[in-house]
Amino acid sequence: MNLLRRWSPWALLLLALAGLIGPRLTGDAEEIVAPPFARPLWLDRSAPPNRHLLLSTKDLEASLDWQWGPPAGFALTGTYRLPEGASARLSWTGPEGSLVLAELTGAGGRFALDGRDIAFRLRLGLSPFQSPLERLFPEPGPYRLRYEGTTPPEELAADLHLSGGRWGLLGTDQRGRDVFRLFLAGIFVSLLIGLAATLLAALLGTTAGLLGGYLGGAVDGALMRLADLLLALPLLPILMVLAGLWGRGLWQLILILGLFSWMGTARTVRALTLSLREAPFVENLRALGAPTWYILGRHLLPEALPVLLATVTLGVPGAILAEAGLAFLGLSDPRLLSWGRMLHEAHSFGAFTAGAWWILLPPGLGIVTVCLAFLDLGRFLEEKADPRLREETP
């Protein structure tokens, strides 16, 4: 099989498998796993690691030796219960002195503070726009998280999470979601919309082409004028208006894309039908009294099938690019995780000022790869359907 010697079917198969199985293995793409714009793990080996410091009722002190610059994230969460009348605090001691992180008051409760909290910044004597991490980690050296109180606590559980600003295979986006998981989730949407919209367009285009080519006359004229009309208009503004007015869900997008991309298929099928209409075998069928739908469905459609298959395959990149364009403009459902949506969020929510190229490259290269693969596959099918093309290609 020549098909199996091409790269495109394998690439598509691999991507489809990754899109189907991947999300199940890696977990929920919407989950927030690390600070925003965390770099990929492999990118910057000198960056600090992710560390946890734990306090419990038995362990009232934890320390670590910090040999790097300030980490990217500092988050302390936990619960406590104190005896009657006691007061306590959690302190943070470094080479340059001690800071109070949290005052524990009352009988008990929970505490949660984060380097991004404005209240926390103000309590450390910083402005709301200053990052507290420089203050918390002024220089490399030993650091200690400690419970200090008049009496030991009845119960204490604290977790200090120091994030090194590195995460996973492809880092995180502006909300701290794993880019690799988002990328895997996007495969499914891109492939599904690309294939479903193209199939719908092929169905419409084949029907229009067969009817127009076989019946001729007014039907043909009307259908082909409509196709010319739609081809003469800028497609994206139409799609934008429709997506904006009618809805942005998965099925609405497929419907909209399908309704506005049948013209190419219709022309191809019509040309083929026209050439077959006067063929002797069709004439014989007519003479035998075969009904029109029978001639169209059982004889002309199978003749058109190879060409149709190639046209459909070559049409998929267009649908994928159109979907990605709409999503990039923010005109898709925000819950629909697609590659275009990722690029939209990278563009709208500060990936640029953060220089976060790892959010940009995976979805973009994904789109390019899928489009090139479908083009390659389409050319192959085209050559199969019409072997003359092989000599003509430069």
Partner 1 sequence: MTYWSRRLLGALTVLFFVLTLNFALFRLMPGDPVASLIDPRFSPESKEALRKAYGLDRPQAEQFLLYLKRTVTFDFGLSFISGRPVWQELRNRLPHTVALTGSALALSGLIGTFLGVTAARRRGGLLERATLTAGALSFSFPSFFLQLLLLLLLAVFWPLFPLRGSVSVPAPQGAALIADYLHHLALPVISLVLLSFGSWALYVRNLMVKILGSEPLFLARAKGLPESILLWRHAFRTALPPLLTLVLLSLPGLLSGAVITETVFSLHGVGRFLLESIQGQDYPAAGGAFYLLALVTVASNLLADAAYGMADPRIRFERERRR
Q: Is residue 40 involved in binding partner 1 (CB under 8 A)? A: no
Q: What residues contact residue 172 under an 8 Å CB cut-off, 6+ apart?
A: 33, 34, 35, 36, 37, 38, 178, 179
- Applying CB under 8 A, does 360 fall inside the site for partner 1? yes
**357 near partner 1, judged by CB under 8 A:** yes
Answer yes or no whether residue 221 interacts with partner 1 by CB under 8 A: no
Answer yes or no whether residue 229 interacts with partner 1 by CB under 8 A: yes
CA dihedral of residues 53, 54, 60, 63 (deg, nearest 10): -20
Please state, as a whole number, how many other Cβ atoms lie within 10 Å of the Cβ of residue 229.
Answer: 10
Site for partner 1 contains 218 (CB under 8 A): no
User: What ranges in 91-234 are assigned the alpha helix state H?
Assistant: 118-123, 133-136, 179-215, 217-231
How are strands ordered across the β-sheet holding 51-56?
Answer: 51-56, 155-163, 73-81, 108-114
222 binds partner 1, rule: CB under 8 A: no
Provide the residue type at 270 as one letter.
R
Site string for partner 1, 289-318 (x = CB under 8 A): ----------------------------x-
| 352 near partner 1, rule: CB under 8 A | yes
Q: Which range in 23-31, 112-120, 354-362, 382-390 contacts partner 1 by CB under 8 A?
A: 354-362
> Encoding tokens for residue 142?
């030993």
Position 262 contacts partner 1 (CB under 8 A): no
- Please select the residue that binds partner 1; options are 25, 119, 218, 245, rule is CB under 8 A: 245
- Of 94 and 366, the one with the shorter C-beta distance to partner 1 is 366
Please identify, using beta-carbon distances, which residue of 25 and 245 lies nearer to partner 1.
Answer: 245
DSSP state of 34: S
Candidate segments 45-53, 68-76, 241-249, 290-298, binder of partner 1 by CB under 8 A: 241-249
Q: Please, which residue, 57 or 369, has the CB nearer to partner 1?
A: 369
Site map (CB under 8 A) of partner 1, residues 314-343, x = contact: ---x---x--xx--xxxx-----------x
Question: Which of 377, 265, 370, 379 lies closest to 323, judged by CA?
Answer: 370
Cα separations (Å) of 291 from 185, 274, 275, 285, 306? 48, 18, 19, 9, 24
Contact (Cβ atoms closer than 8 angstroms) between residue 74 and residue 98:
no
Q: At what angle do helices 250-259 and 235-246 cross, to 10 degrees?
A: 150
Residues at the site binding partner 1, with contacts judged by CB under 8 A: 225, 228-229, 231-238, 240-246, 317, 321, 324-325, 328-331, 343, 346-347, 352-353, 355, 357, 360, 363-364, 367-368, 371-372, 375, 394
